[in-house]
Every structure is written in structure tokens, then in C-alpha cells.
């Protein structure tokens, strides 16, 4: 047993293998590393070199998420992000961050690493035990950048690991960390919380969330770029089989019955075209789940209408009112609830803590600002235009991650 | 390599196209110049010319010719 500031650190389990994908294998060393300042120069230049490799990667075009990550971490963008953090002058990293990446969004582990390092922490990142090509592409690129002698010190701050679900290993990494970043679902969070943290450490949890889209029919009908809107909506939903927390599942139409009905016709047919263009493949299991979800809603809710569709790509369930348990119904793979009203007010009746991202079409920022901000809604952490639901930002789920993951040293 | 050659090379390599396609080339004229290709091109140009492009300039960068005007704002002269 080792002791660190009076806290007993469990020994690294030897019976179960921890696979190191990139970085430092000497995990015990991590709590002794000096925290960095947020936006440390070496960290920025590490990410810039990583960006160049990913952007020119021969498989890049097959994985838009890898390219999007590469674009995010390039120096120009990080410096732009830095500008909103001029108030961080006396911040330092908290020490060690232990990240548990989700299994629904493959590239997420890389973004989690980026916020951990950019806020000044050493990072142990557990990638999903599911195997994704994106994990290998990014981990291999990280390894090759870390081989450069100028990053030999930074290499000690990064461990990308993979292991099967195991409490002993969770206990070990949890005992080393100052911040534990758990990307949900809710079950993963409960599982990890069984592993004790040192007294001053804390969790940042990204639980199961529910997201929705609001469309003003009249404005949408006037828009010339309906094809682009369809692709944007596709990127928010089908790109992750509608399984990302930020993927809309409810479409709230605002307008008269007549206008909404016209708008729906355009919206869904343009989306269908986009699905054909993108060659979206629907798994048979998902098609069955979607059908079951539609039948279940028809049984449970009053006056539900299930519009006829050409194929199984888009499943729609039209509601006459908004049931409170809607956030529990998360089918995925292109299953949408729709609700129509003259005004957006009804949303307040159902917005709970579970609501995360509101995407919009036909509204302006200021309209939505006055509609939702300061009106006492328990949920909604992000309001972004359609197409930007999955766009990562240093502020996520209501947390300003850089501020949250660094320590403020007050000097008088 | 002159700046113009570097500029052309960025397009040729990012999009896998021939040099004779460059004049008049616009966003989405070729399959490879989509949103993904655009991010790749921007990153290569930033690296090649040591500039950090503004988000508005990245959005406005809609053609081979327009790109030259944009880079000029960053003191990258492409006729040298």
C-alpha cells in the first residue's frame, strides 16, 4: 500500500489486465506530477501536432468525427477558445483527472482528454471496451506524437487505457484522481460511484439526458436551404444512430395546423432524401425497436397518430399532448415524437432536469434567450442551431469544464 | 516552393484533384470539398502559411479565388 497525503492508495491490480493504448503506464506516478496551468504552451503544441496527423490521416474521410476532433484541437481554435478565459490567470490544474468515456459516441474520449489536459491535469482516460476504429486512429496518433523528445515530459501526463468492467481497477484509478469525469449512462455513473474517491476529489457526471428540437413552421417554409437543414438534422441524429445525449428525439412544431402540416411534408421528405444520399443503414434490430416504440406509445398515450412512411428509416409518432414520461422513451435509430402548438409555452410543462440540448430552426438566438433563460426551467443546458447538437464545446452540460477542472488560487 | 505553389498543393492534396481543376473551383464542386474536406484544407493552409484563420474567414472561404483574397488579409501574398 502507498500513502498519499494520508490517503491509502490501493495497489494496482495485477490479476486483470489494463491495456495501455497510449502514454504513461506508470499510473502510480501520476498523483506526484506537477499540475500544469490551463492552456499550457506544450499542451497546445501537442494538440496542434496531433491535429495535423489526424487531418491528413488516410482514413480521415471515413470518420468525420475524427476530422472534427482534429479541427477542434488545432492551435488556431484552441487560441480562440482561450480568449474567453482571460479571467483564469491564477488557475492551475487540480492534479489527476480520471475519465470514463461512453460507448455511444466513439470520439468522446478524445474530447475528454482535451479538456482534462487543457485545464492543466494529468489524464487517465478509460476508453469504451467496445472496439471502434476511431479509438485506434486517435490513440495511435497520440502515441506517435508523444514519441517526440519535446513531449517526453508531457507523456507522463497521459494514459489512454482499456479494460473490461472491473471494480478493482475502478477503485485503483479512483483512488489516484482529483477529478473523476464520468460520461454516462446513469448505470455507469452508479457503478463508478461504488469506488471511493479521496476526500477532496469530486465527480463531474454526464448522465443520460434528453434533447429536442423546436421548429417555427412559417419561418422554415420560407427557408431556401431545406436540403442543408436536412443534412444538419441528419448530423444531429443519425450520425450517432440518435443515441447521443444531444440528439433530438422530440420535434416541437410551432405554428398553425395548416402551416405545420406543410412544413412537416418538406422537412421529412428532405430528411428522407438525405438518408438515401448518406446511405444510412438501419439495423434490423433497430427497425423492430422503432416499431415497438410506436406501438407502445399508441397503447400508452391518447390520440397518437403514426403517419405512414415509405420505409423504416424515419419513424414518427404524433402526440396530441406532452406526457411527462417522454424522456424515458429513447428508442434511437430515427424515432421521433412530434407535437404541434401555436406557441412554445407547453414545453415548460415537461422540461425537467433531464433536458439537455434544445436545437432550433426558424428562431433567432435572442428570441430563444427571452423564451427560456431566466424563466425557471429546471433543465436545458444548451440552445444551439440545428446541425450543432453534437458540436463539442468547453462548456458542456452546464459545466464550464476548464474552470471546473482547475483550481483557483486566490491571491490578496 | 512559391506561396502560390504551396496554395495549389494544399488544394491538390486535400481534395485529390488535378491542377487544371483549380481555377474557378468552388466549395462542393468536387465531392471531396465538402465540410470534412473544408476542415482539412483550412488546417493545411494554417499550417503551411503559419496563420490562424478567423472563424468568419473559414466560413467565407468558398472558392479557390476567394481563398486568395482571404489569405491576403493575413499578409500571405500568393503572387510571389
Q: Give me the count of residues in chain A.
A: 412
Least confidently predicted of A60-64, A383-387, B6-10, B37-41: A60-64
CA distance A212 to A130: 27
Whole-prediction pTM: 0.88
A64-72 and A108-118 helices, crossing angle to 10°: 10
Q: How far is it, in rounded angstroms, from Cα A304 to Cα A294?
A: 9
Q: Are A64 and B42 an interchain contact pair (Cβ–Cβ within 8 Å)?
A: no
* Nearest residue in A to B44, CA atom: A52
Q: What is the pLDDT of residues A162-199, one digit of tens each?
A: 999 999 999 999 999 999 999 978 999 999 999 999 99
The set of cell numbers assigned to A299 is 397503447
- Nearest Cα neighbor of A318 from A342, A335, A343 is A335
Write down the pLDDT at residue A188.
94
Which range among A88-92, A214-218, B58-62, B71-75 shows the weakest confidence by mean pLDDT?
Answer: A88-92
> Which of B32, B39, B44 lies nearest to residue A67, judging by beta carbons?
B39
Q: What percent of chain A has pLDDT over 70?
A: 97
- Contact list, B43 vs chain A (CB under 8 Å): 51-52, 55, 70-71, 74
Instruction: Find, among A84, A150, A68, the residue nearest to A118 by Cα.
Output: A84
Q: Which residue of A has its CA nearest to B13?
A: A56
Predicted-complex ipTM score: 0.90
| Candidate from A113-117, A143-147, A152-156, A350-354 with smallest mean pLDDT | A350-354
Average confidence score pLDDT of chain B: 92
Of A64, A68, A76, the CB nearest to B53: A76
Q: Hey, is the C-beta of B70 within 8 angstroms of any chain A C-beta?
A: no
Sign of the dihedral defined by the CA atoms of residues A118, A185, A67, B35, in that order: negative
- Across the interface, which of A51, A61, A80 has its CB nearest the CB of B43? A51
Instruction: Confirm or reject contact between A57 and chain B (CB < 8 A).
Output: no
Q: What is the pLDDT of residue B37?
A: 93
Asked if B42 has any chain A CB less than 8 Å from its own CB, the reply is yes
Is the predicted pLDDT of residue A54 greater than 70, yes or no? yes
Name the residue among B32, B36, B46 with its Cβ closest to that of A74.
B46
Nearest CA in chain B to A76: B52
Give the residue from chain A lying closest to B15, CA to CA: A61
Q: What is the pLDDT of residues A103-135, one digit of tens each?
A: 888 999 999 999 999 999 999 999 998 899 999
Average pLDDT score over chain A: 92
d(CA A111, CA B61): 26
What spatial distance separates the first Cα and last Cα of chain B, rounded to whole Å?
A: 10
Report how far residue A98's alpha carbon sits from residue A179's, in angstroms, rounded to the nearest whole number.
Answer: 6
- pLDDT at position A98 is 98
Q: What is the 3-state secondary structure (H, E, C) of A186-201?
A: HHHHHHHHCCCCCCCC
Residue in B with minimal Cα distance to A69: B39
Give pLDDT, residue A4.
Answer: 56
pLDDT of residue A135: 97
CB atoms under 10 Å from CB of B45, counted, come to: 23
Q: Cell triple for residue B8? A: 495549389
pLDDT band at B78 (very low <50, low <70, confident <90, very high): confident
Q: A59 to chain B, minimum CA–CA distance in Å?
A: 12
Min Cα–Cα distance to chain B from A67, Å: 7
C-alpha cell at A11: 495497489
Residue A10 touches partner B, C-beta closer than 8 Å: no
Whether residues B40 and A74 touch (CB distance < 8 A) is answered with no
Give the confidence band of A331 by pLDDT, cuts at 50, 70, 90. confident
Residues in B closer than 8 angstroms to A64, CB to CB, are: 35-36
Q: What is the 3-state secondary structure (H, E, C) of chain A?
A: CEEECCEEECCCCCCCCCEEEEECCCHHHHHHCCCCCCCCHHHHHHHHHHHHHHHCCCCHHHCHHHHHHHHHCCHHHHHHHHHHHHHHCCEEECCEEEEECCCCCCCHHHHHHHHHHHCCCEEEEECCCCCCHHHHHHHHHHHHHHCCHHHCCHHHHEEEEECCCCHHHHHHHHHHCCEEEEECCHHHHHHHHCCCCCCCCEEEEECCCEEEEEEEHHHHHHCCCHHHHHHHHHHHCHHHCCCCCCCEEEEEEECCHHHHHHHHHHHHHHHHHHHHHCCCCCCHHHHHHHHHHHHHHHHHCCCCECCCCCCCCCEEEEECCCCCCHHHCCCCCCEEEEEEECCHHHHHHHCCCCEEEEEEECCCHHHHHHHHCCCCCCCCCEEEECCCCCCCCCEECCEEHHHHCEEECCCC
Distance of CA A16 to the CA centre of its chain: 29
Residue A185, preceding peptide bond in cis (omega within 30° of 0): yes
- Taking 90 as the threshold, does the pLDDT of residue A1 lie above it? no
The alpha carbon of A300 is separated from its chain's Cα centroid by a whole number of angstroms, namely 31
Q: What pLDDT was estimated at residue A177? A: 98
Give the tens place of pLDDT for each residue, A335-355.
999 999 999 988 888 899 999
The answer to whether the beta carbons of residues B53 and B23 sit under 8 Å apart is no
pLDDT of residue A104: 81
pLDDT at A311: 87
Indicate the pLDDT class of residue A213, thresholds 50, 70 and 90. Answer: very high
Alpha-carbon distance B80 to nearest alpha carbon in chain A (angstroms)? 25
> Which of B17, B38, B40 best probes binding to A when mutated, by most A CB atoms within 10 angstroms?
B40
Among chain A residues, the shortest Cα distance to B36 is held by A64
d(CA A55, CA A69): 9
Amino acid at each position: 500500500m502507498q500513502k498519499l497525503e494520508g490517503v491509502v492508495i490501493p495497489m494496482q491490480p495485477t490479476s486483470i489486465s489494463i491495456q495501455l493504448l497510449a502514454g504513461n503506464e506508470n499510473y502510480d506516478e501520476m498523483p506526484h506530477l506537477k499540475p500544469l496551468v490551463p492552456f499550457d504552451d506544450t499542451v497546445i503544441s501537442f494538440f496542434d501536432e496531433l491535429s495535423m496527423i489526424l487531418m491528413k490521416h488516410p482514413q480521415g474521410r471515413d470518420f468525420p468525427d475524427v476530422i472534427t476532433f482534429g479541427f477542434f484541437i488545432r492551435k488556431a481554435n484552441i487560441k480562440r477558445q482561450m480568449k474567453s478565459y482571460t479571467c483564469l490567470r491564477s488557475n492551475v490544474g487540480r492534479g489527476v483527472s480520471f475519465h470514463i468515456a461512453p460507448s455511444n459516441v466513439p470520439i468522446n474520449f478524445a474530447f475528454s482528454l482535451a479538456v482534462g489536459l487543457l485545464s492543466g491535469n494529468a489524464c487517465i482516460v478509460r476508453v469504451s471496451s467496445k472496439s471502434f476504429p476511431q479509438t485506434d486512429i486517435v490513440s495511435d496518433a497520440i502515441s506517435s506524437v508523444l514519441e517526440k523528445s519535446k513531449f517526453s515530459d508531457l507523456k507522463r501526463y497521459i494514459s489512454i487505457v482499456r479494460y473490461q468492467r472491473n471494480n478493482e481497477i475502478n477503485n485503483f484509478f479512483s483512488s489516484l484522481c482529483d477529478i473523476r469525469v464520468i460520461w454516462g449512462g446513469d448505470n455507469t455513473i452508479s457503478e463508478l460511484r461504488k469506488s471511493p474517491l479521496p476526500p477532496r476529489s469530486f465527480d463531474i457526471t454526464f448522465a443520460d439526458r434528453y434533447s429536442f428540437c423546436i421548429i417555427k413552421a412559417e419561418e422554415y417554409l420560407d427557408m431556401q436551404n431545406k436540403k442543408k437543414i436536412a443534412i444538419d438534422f441528419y448530423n444531429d441524429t443519425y450520425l450517432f444512430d440518435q443515441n447521443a445525449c444531444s440528439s433530438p428525439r422530440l420535434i416541437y412544431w410551432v405554428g398553425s395546423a395548416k402551416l405545420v402540416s406543410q412544413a412537416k411534408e418538406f422537412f421529412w421528405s428532405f430528411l428522407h432524401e438525405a438518408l438515401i444520399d448518406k446511405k444510412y443503414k438501419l439495423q434490423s434490430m433497430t427497425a423492430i425497436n422503432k416499431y415497438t416504440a410506436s406501438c407502445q406509445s399508441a397503447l400508452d398515450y391518447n390520440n397518437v397518430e403514426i403517419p405512414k412512411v415509405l420505409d423504416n428509416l424515419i419513424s414518427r409518432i404524433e402526440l396530441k399532448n406532452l406526457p411527462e414520461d417522454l424522456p424515458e422513451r429513447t428508442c434511437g435509430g430515427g424515432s421521433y415524437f412530434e407535437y404541434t402548438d401555436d406557441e412554445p409555452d407547453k414545453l415548460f410543462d415537461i422540461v425537467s432536469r433531464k433536458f439537455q440540448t434544445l436545437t432550433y430552426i426558424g428562431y433567432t438566438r435572442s428570441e430563444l434567450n427571452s423564451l427560456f433563460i431566466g424563466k425557471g426551467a429546471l433543465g436545458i443546458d444548451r440552445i444551439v442551431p440545428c446541425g450543432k447538437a453534437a458540436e463539442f464545446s468547453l462548456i458542456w452540460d452546464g459545466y464550464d469544464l476548464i474552470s471546473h477542472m482547475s483550481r483557483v488560487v486566490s491571491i490578496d | 516552393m512559391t506561396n502560390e505553389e504551396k496554395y495549389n498543393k494544399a488544394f491538390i492534396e486535400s481534395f485529390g484533384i488535378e491542377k487544371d481543376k483549380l481555377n474557378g473551383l468552388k466549395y462542393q464542386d468536387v465531392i471531396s470539398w465538402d465540410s470534412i474536406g473544408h476542415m482539412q484544407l483550412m488546417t493545411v493552409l494554417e499550417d503551411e502559411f503559419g496563420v490562424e484563420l478567423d472563424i468568419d474567414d473559414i466560413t467565407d472561404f468558398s472558392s479557390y479565388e476567394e481563398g486568395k483574397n482571404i489569405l491576403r488579409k493575413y499578409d500571405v501574398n500568393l503572387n510571389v
